[in-house]
Amino acid sequence: MAPPCPQCSQQGQLVRKLTVRSLLIPKLKNRVLDIAYYLCMSSDCKVSYYSNTPNEIFTTKDVKVPIWYKKDAHPKYACYCNKITDEEVINTVKETGLSDMQEIIKFLREKVKCACVAMNPSGQCCTPLFPEAITIGLHARQKEKTENI
């Protein structure tokens, strides 16, 4: 079980040191110690990564990319590896009717990348982030069709 965030007391998610080091702004990369780090899962908290070591905290300002579920995240990424935003997914689904993640990525990007461990703040695959944006796009597409009848 992950320890709670020292700022908000919400339980965090274990992440690899590689993930933390890859996503911190350059001047902070050398601060990453050989200890366990956790991603704060609270949408309201400004902490991105923390550890059990006192004062070993990184905030959302210390990270190179916005963390998708944090309140002030902009843009919100559906795929960090290919830098695809929720908005791009929604618009693509709305305009083309595509609803498969791989097809959408190929439609939006010439070259498909997969480096979730180093590019996604959770260090995990971006796949779970896509379905919500696809669903919103499909609903918007259906609504437009209905309104045009």
Confidence of residue 99 (pLDDT cuts 50, 70, 90): very high
- Residues 94-98: contacts with CB within 8 Å, 24+ apart? 94/137, 94/140, 94/141, 94/144, 95/141, 97/141
Q: Average per-residue pLDDT in the chain?
A: 93
Q: 103: domain range?
A: 77-147
What average pLDDT does range 9-19 have in this prediction?
Answer: 96
Report pLDDT for 129. 80
| Residue 104, C-beta contacts closer than 8 angstroms, at least 6 positions apart | 84, 89, 92, 93, 98, 130, 134
CATH number at residue 42: 2.20.25.270
Task: Encode pLDDT of 51-81 as tens digits.
Answer: 998 889 999 999 999 999 999 899 999 999 9
Confidence of residue 130 (pLDDT cuts 50, 70, 90): confident
Same domain? For 31 and 90 the reply is no
Report pLDDT for 1. 80
Task: Encode pLDDT of 29-52 as tens digits.
Answer: 999 999 999 999 999 999 999 999
Same domain? For 57 and 13 the reply is yes
Same domain? For 29 and 53 the reply is yes
Same domain? For 21 and 60 the reply is yes
Same domain? For 116 and 134 the reply is yes
Same domain? For 32 and 52 the reply is yes
How many domains is the chain built from? 2
Q: Is residue 134 scored above 90 in pLDDT? A: yes
**How far apart (Å, rounded) are the C-alpha atoms in residues 43 and 29?**
24
- High-pLDDT (> 70) share of the chain, %: 99
